[in-house]
Amino acid sequence: MDLAPDNDQAITRDSLYGTIAENTFAGITSFSRRRYSRDLRGVDVVVSGVPFDTATSNRPGARFGPRAIRAASVQQAWARHWPWEFDPFDHLAVIDYGDCNFDYGSPHTVPHSIQAHAEQMLEAGCAMLTLGGDHFISYPLLKAHARKHGPLALIHFDAHSDTWPDEEGQRVDHGTMFWHAAREGLVDPARSVQIGLRTTNDETQGFAVLNARQVHQRGTQAIIEAIRQRVGDQPVYLTFDIDCLDPAYAPGTGTPVCGGLTTVQALEILGGLRGINLVGMDLVEVAPAYDHADITALAGATLAMEMLCLYAARHKVDG
């Protein structure tokens, strides 16, 4: 393996393209060694963090998720993502923008700050891979994406439905986002699907549900086919709450629930979605204070790379 001629590719790389190996144990930890930049010209995908976790109902700590995912991502930044036959960084100009800025002391302003952050990227013609943060961040992100793309198909991996009602509409809560998204027309429930659920909420809001037991019993290929049939060619927003994985594979999260997916199942399902019209994506709820040996952060980084491969396949490689 040939190492880079200089360390810290996050600030020294000349090109936004390509994979260049450097020591995994050293250097600045941007996502997968992408260049840190605020220049959106010529950029296909922006990786950014939203270190917000005050909408969490159980254990806080996901504010440290973006940093942990970036640190874990360098372990896979030395070669193309397996088992894909192409390197997404050969086809996509990707930068790490850093984190969304917001005033934690004025929580009522945070949703607007996140939405404005996303709109800046989308208006510049960039797609977004967002690292959370608790799952509430998906709500303002969906607002920004729906403003550009219209009603979205939602592919939602989670242990929880996050469709609990908020009749007064005032809660900043990581359990109500998709109730709002369905009622506001941000997503089309008839084209949307939730995978891995294993907590009780009898009101589906019209979403198709493929719960965790169905994944285990039916197998990944059947789940892939059901998802593809549901979303069709509608613009897709993909959100992955790391607690979709069983706590054995992702202990570092705020609301762990036993009986979840394995990392292999999740990766197989994502890989099987090649060709969907992916327009936006996030990976949320990594809380490193509860992690062990960084396995949750590494799972998050790996799943995020799978999303980048899906995006590259649809928009660059497969035409």
Is 304 contained in some domain? yes
pLDDT one-digit tens code per residue, 227-249: 999 999 999 999 999 999 999 99
Is the model more confident about 2 or about 119? Answer: 119
Give residue 240's region: left, alpha or beta (phi > 0; psi -120 to 50): beta
Is 229 contained in some domain? yes
Nearest to 280 by CA among 244, 231, 239: 239
pLDDT one-digit tens code per residue, 52-99: 999 899 899 999 999 999 999 999 999 999 999 999 999 999 999 999
CA distance 25 to 7: 11
For position 197, which CATH number holds? 3.40.800.10
Contact 153, 188 (CB under 8 A): yes
Among the ranges given (9-18, 30-39, 108-117, 256-265), the one the predictor scored with the smallest mean pLDDT: 9-18
pLDDT one-digit tens code per residue, 193-215: 999 999 999 889 999 999 999 99
What is the CA 48 to chain-centroid distance, rounded? Answer: 10
Binding site residue list for Mn(2+): 135, 158, 160, 162, 241, 243
Is 271 contained in some domain? yes
Q: In the 8-state DSSP scheme, what is residue 314?
A: I
Q: Who's near 161: CB < 8 A, 6+ residues apart? A: 178, 194, 197, 199, 201, 204, 207, 209
pLDDT one-digit tens code per residue, 242-270: 999 999 999 999 999 999 999 999 999 99
Contact 241, 135 (CB under 8 A): yes
Mean pLDDT over all residues of the chain?
A: 95
CA distance 208 to 160: 13
pLDDT one-digit tens code per residue, 305-318: 999 999 999 999 99
Residue found under tokens 């996502």: 31
Whether a cis peptide bond, with omega within 30° of 0, leads into 51 is no
Is 218 contained in some domain? yes
Q: In the 8-state DSSP scheme, what is residue 155?
A: E
Direct distance between the N- and C-terminal alpha carbons of the chain, in angstroms, rounded to an integer: 31
What tokens does 220 get? 């990944």
Is 2 contained in some domain? no
Binding site residue list: 135, 158, 160, 162, 241, 243
Q: For residue 2, is pLDDT > 80?
A: no
CA distance 208 to 213: 15
CA distance 230 to 296: 29
For residue 127, give its domain range.
9-317
Catalogue the E-assigned strands of 257-316: 278-284
Query: What's the number of domains the chain is made of?
Result: 1
Is 239 contained in some domain? yes
Percent of the chain that is helix, strand, coil (3-state, to 5) = 40, 15, 45
Is 3 contained in some domain? no
Nearest to 317 by CA among 148, 80, 149, 42: 80
Is 135 contained in some domain? yes
